[in-house]
Amino acid sequence: MVVGKILDNACTDLATQVGDRALRGTALRDAIREWHRSHPDEELVAEAEYERPPGVVWDDDNYRGAACGAFAWAAYLAEVEVDLRTYSARCTAFHSVQEIGHVINETLARGQIQGGIVRGIGWALFEECRLRDGAMINNQLTNYIIPTSADVPPIDVVFLENPYADGALGAKGIGELPLDGPAPAVANAVADALGVEPLDIPLTPERLMQLVEGVGT
C-alpha cells in the first residue's frame, strides 16, 4: 500500500514530465520512449515521497496511533477429512473471500492468495519445528514435512473490491494476509469434525490421537 502509492506518484511525475499527467500503462511507456528520442542527451528522473493520508497519525516515540491508513480483510473456510484409524487429517477444499481494495492484476493476486493458503495448510497439518539444545534438528526437506501437490485441495478465491483512494490505483495490498487465517480455519474444521479443542499445531496424527483418545494426557 505504501510502496505502491510511492510508485504510483513517481509514475505520475514521469507522466507530467513527458507531457500528460493522466498517462498510464502502455501510453506512458510509449511517451517515455518518445521523450528519450527527443532528448537524447538528457536524463529523465522521477521522484516521489509517501504522503500520509489525511487523519492517519502515528506517534513513533510512544507507538500509538494508526500505523496504516487502511487494512485488507479476508474470510476463510476449510473442509477437512480425518481418518479415525490413522488419525491423519487432510484438507479436501478451501474457500476464501478477500477484500484487498482494487485488484490490479487478478492472476498475480490469486496466485499470492493461493500460495499463502497452501503455506497455511502446511502450517496447520504438517510443518513442525523440532528443537534440541536450542537448535532445529529437522532443518532439511528430508525431515521437515511440507505439503506436496497431492496435499493441496481445490482453492476457491473470491474478491470483494473496495478501492482505497490513498492506495496505488485503489489497491490496499495482500502481503501475509492469506497466511494468517488458513491455519486457524483448518484447525477449527478439525475441531468441528472430531468434537475436540486442538490448541497446538501442526495437527499431526499423534496429536489428534491424544486429543480423541486421551493418550498421553
According to the model, what pLDDT value does residue 215 have? 64
Domain count of the fold of the chain? 2
Same domain, 46 and 85: no
Pairing of strands 131-132, 135-136: antiparallel
Same domain, 20 and 106: no
The residues of the chain scoring below 70 in pLDDT are 215-217
Same domain, 37 and 142: no
Three-state DSSP state, 152: coil
In a domain, 61, yes or no: no
* pTM listed for this prediction: 0.84
Same domain, 130 and 173: yes
Strand partners, 77: 95
- Residues sharing a CB contact under 8 Å with residue 154, sequence separation 6 or more, in sequence order: 93, 94
Please give the residue range of the domain that contains residue 36.
2-51
Give buried/exposed letters for 39-48 (b at 16+ CB in 10 A, else e).
Answer: eeeeeeeeee
Q: Which of 106, 176, 206, 213 is catalytic?
A: 176
In a domain, 105, yes or no: yes
Alpha carbon distance 172, 12 (integer Å): 18
| 176 catalytic per annotation | yes
In a domain, 65, yes or no: no
Same domain, 151 and 78: yes
Torsion-angle region of 94 (φ positive above 0: left; ψ -120 to 50: alpha; else: beta): beta
According to the model, what pLDDT value does residue 74 have? 96
